[in-house]
Amino acid sequence: MSATATEPIAPSRETIRQAPKVLLHDHLDGGLRPATILDLAPGAGHTLPAADAESLGRWFAESANSGSLERYLETFDHTVAVMQSAENIRRVARECVEDLAEDGVVYAEVRYAPEQHLQGGLSPEQVVEAVKAGFEEGEEAARIQGQPIVVRQLLTAMRHQARSREIAELVVRYRDEGVVGFDIAGAEAGFPPTRHLDAFEYLQRENAHFTIHAGEAFGLPSIWEAIQWCGADRLGHGVRIIDDITQGPDGRSVLGRLASYVRDKRIPLEMCPRSNVQTGAATSIAEHPIGLLKDLGFRVTVNTDNRLMSGTSMTEEMYDLVEAFGYTLADLRWFTINAMKSAFLPFDERLEITNTEIKPVYAVLGAVA
C-alpha cells in the first residue's frame, strides 16, 4: 500500500541523523571513543582487554550485553581509569561534544561522578573545571563545523558512597558555570535514594535541579522514594513505572496511584531503550514500556545512557523506535520537545533552542506537529 497523507513514511536513519535531538541522560564515562581509550591507557598505566579500537569497541558491547546491571557497570573500570588527569578529562569532554554534534544533538546534559576521577590527585573542583573546558572547546569546534550545540553538566554522586552532600554543594557552587543539576547513580538494590536525603533537601533549599536514577534495576519502591521522599525533578530511566499499570477487563490501561501521579505531575522519564534491554530492565525494544507510556501521555524522553557500552547514538535509539513502533518524524519531534521542556536549562534558553534549532528544522524535514 502506498503512503498517503494519513500514512506518513517512516523516516530513514539519515533523516533522523539530520533531525535536531535533545539528550538528557548520557554518561561522560560511558561515551568514550575506543581509539581514545587505547591512546590514553598506556599513559594512565592501565591494561585493556583488547589491542585495537574495533576489538575494544566490540568487547565493551559484548560485556555490556550480560543482562545484569552490576556486570554492565563493571565495564566502566576501563573508561574511568583513563580519566584521572585534567588533560585526559578535557579531551574526553571535548570529543563527547563533537560526537553528539555530529549526531545532530542540539542540547545535551552529560553526567559523571567527580568522585570517580580523583585517583590522579585532582580535586573535585578541578574535575568540574576540566569538563567545562572540554565542553566549551567541543561547542566551539561544532559551531565552526556548522553544528551548533549546547552541552551542560550534571554532577553525579555514587549511591553506595557517602559524598552526596559534598557533590550537591559542588553543583550549587558551579551552577552559573555550566553545571545545571545533580544525580545519584550506581546499583539501586540495597542503596535507596533516601540514604542521600540530606543532599536532596539541601538542593531543594538552594532551588537547584536534580534527577535520580530510579526504576531501572529496582521497582516501584525506588521510584516512590525518589519522588515522594527526595523530590526528584526527573526520573533516570523510570522504566519500572510500568509495574503500576494494569489492564482492565475492557482492555484499557489502568494506572495505579504512583503511575497516575507521575503522569499527572508531568515528571519526565529519561528512558534509554538499548541500555534497558542490555541490563534486563526490558526484554526487547519492541516490548519496551516506552511504547505504552507514550500512548498514555507520560512525559517520555529518549536517551543513550552509555553510547560506548550500548554501541549507540541518539540516531540509533530513535531509529530503533521507528522500526519497533512505526514512529514518524512527528513522534520524534514530540520526544525531542518533551526533552527540551524537561531540561534543567533556564526557561528562556530552552524556548530559544526550541524555536530556533528544533521546530524549524523538523518543519523543513516534513514533520507535522
Phi, psi of 332 (to 5 degrees): -65, -35
Are 366 and 12 spatial neighbours (Cβ–Cβ below 8 Å)?
no
3 state DSSP class of 76: helix
Positions in the chain short of pLDDT 50:
1-4
What pLDDT is stored for residue 262 in this prediction? 98
Answer yes or no: are the C-beta atoms of 11 and 329 closer than 8 Å.
yes
List the domains of the chain with CATH numbers.
Answer: 13-34+82-365 (3.20.20.140)
**Predicted local confidence at residue 3, as pLDDT:** 47
| Strands across the sheet containing 234-237 | 211-214, 234-237, 269-271, 300-302
Rounded CA separation 69/211 (Å):
19
Q: Which residue has the cell 532551588?
A: 207
Q: How far apart are CA 76 and CA 69, in angstroms?
A: 12
The pLDDT of residue 123 is: 98
Q: Which residue has the cell 523538523?
A: 362
Longest C-alpha distance within the chain, in Å? 64
Q: Which of 17, 34, 22 is nearest to 309 (CA)?
A: 34
Catalytic (active-site) positions: 216
Q: 166 is written with which cell numbers?
A: 559534598
Using DSSP, state whether 234 is helix, strand or coil: strand
